[in-house]
Structure 1
Amino acid sequence: MGELWPVPDVLAYLAGRWRTERSVRDLASGLEGRFEGVTSFDRLDDGRLGDGKLGEGGLISRESGDFTWRGVTRPAERTLRYEPGSGPGRADVRFADGRPFHGLDLTTGHHVADHPCAADLYRGEFTVRGPDRWRTVWRVGGPAKDLLLTTDYLRETPEA
């Protein structure tokens, strides 16, 4: 697994813009696809929690880029909410509409989360490699799905 980077404050760690590259492999058919884009973690200011300070209300994650599958490239996007968990190294990840997705605990630099979705099971492994680099690997299995999604995040630094 390599060296892990413990994260004492997950929301502070994620805040900002990340270059995002994902490979998608259908293990049943052998087909492969690729997503390339940016994920931006911005302060979630929905009026429900706190006074808007970073971490009190959480973050909203907006992913946007291009997804190529079977030689066809299309725009793709996804939005998630990262709300404060039971401690600073933890977050509750929710879909954009507020439904629960999974917990996230990066205090050791590594976390495994499960998300049952109808007859499928999504198992995600989160690994932090340093202050500006982390990875997720989702294995999706079920009657109609057999997928492996590997995403690398590299922090974008503002131009000086």
Structure 2
Amino acid sequence: MGLGLNDFEGVWQVERRIDNAAGPDARFEGVARFERDGAGLVYAEAGELRLAGQAPIRGERRYLWREEEDGRIAVFFDDGRDFHRFDPGAEAPGDRHHCAPDVYDVAYDFREWPEWESRWRVAGPRKDYAMVSRYRR
């Protein structure tokens, strides 16, 4: 397919499902913006997180997306710490992030581009959840 960092630039609707084995499931709906910052793209997400029986919570997050020489995309936390990398052209793009004692596994799916999704599986002593985020223009 030949996706690169520039293909993500713009505004996306995001819908997320969080299936939590250790607590209530959650849903998130909002907007993700990929905007240029000189070194790549800044991912800025804002929306509402809903848990059963609770008032909606405003949620925001930011990441830095950078294209590497080999075409992979490196994702960093907004403070510059390394998060994960993936090859958007791979048959099964994904990675693993260790945040001791927890492990975060991500798989991206670009087969229905320009709609795409990320699937996270998080496991650790106090974490046990699956999170699927669906993006569309």
Q: TM-score range by the shorter chain?
A: over 0.9
How much does 1:109 deviate? 5.3
Q: Verify the 8 A CA contact 1:40 1:61 in the aligned structure 2.
A: yes
Flag the 1:81–1:16 CA change in 2: closer, same or farther, 3 A.
same
TM-score (norm. length: structure 1): 0.80
Counterpart for residue 21 of structure 1 = 15
Is 2:100 the counterpart of 1:100? no
Residues in 2 aligned to 1:154 and 1:71: alpha-carbon distance in whole angstroms: 28
Q: Verify the 8 A CA contact 1:109 1:128 in the aligned structure 2.
A: no
**Relative contact order (C-alpha < 8 Å, sep 6+): which is higher?**
1
Question: Which amino acid in structure 2 is aligned with residue 127 of structure 1?
Answer: D
Unaligned runs of at least 5 residues, structure 2:
none
Is 2:75 the counterpart of 1:81? no
TM-score (norm. length: structure 2): 0.92
Sequence identity, in percent? 33
How much does 1:118 deviate? 1.9
Is 2:48 the counterpart of 1:66? yes
Counterpart for residue 126 of structure 2 = 144
Q: Verify the 8 A CA contact 1:115 1:122 in the aligned structure 2.
A: yes
Q: Verify the 8 A CA contact 1:109 1:129 in the aligned structure 2.
A: no
User: Which of 30, 35, 48 is the aligned partner of 1:42?
Assistant: 35
Q: CA RMSD in A?
A: 1.3
Residues in 2 aligned to 1:71 and 1:21: alpha-carbon distance in whole angstroms: 19
Counterpart for residue 107 of structure 2 = 125
Residues in 1 aligned to 2:85 and 2:117: alpha-carbon distance in whole angstroms: 16
Residues in 2 aligned to 1:109 and 1:128: alpha-carbon distance in whole angstroms: 9
Q: Could you list the runs of 4 or more consecutive aligned residues of structure 1 that deviate by over 2 angstroms after TM superposition?
A: none
Equivalenced residues, count: 136
Residues in 2 aligned to 1:130 and 1:9: alpha-carbon distance in whole angstroms: 12
Residues in 2 aligned to 1:79 and 1:69: alpha-carbon distance in whole angstroms: 22
Question: Which amino acid in structure 1 is aligned with residue 50 of structure 2?
Answer: T
Unaligned runs of at least 5 residues, structure 1:
1-5, 46-56, 156-160
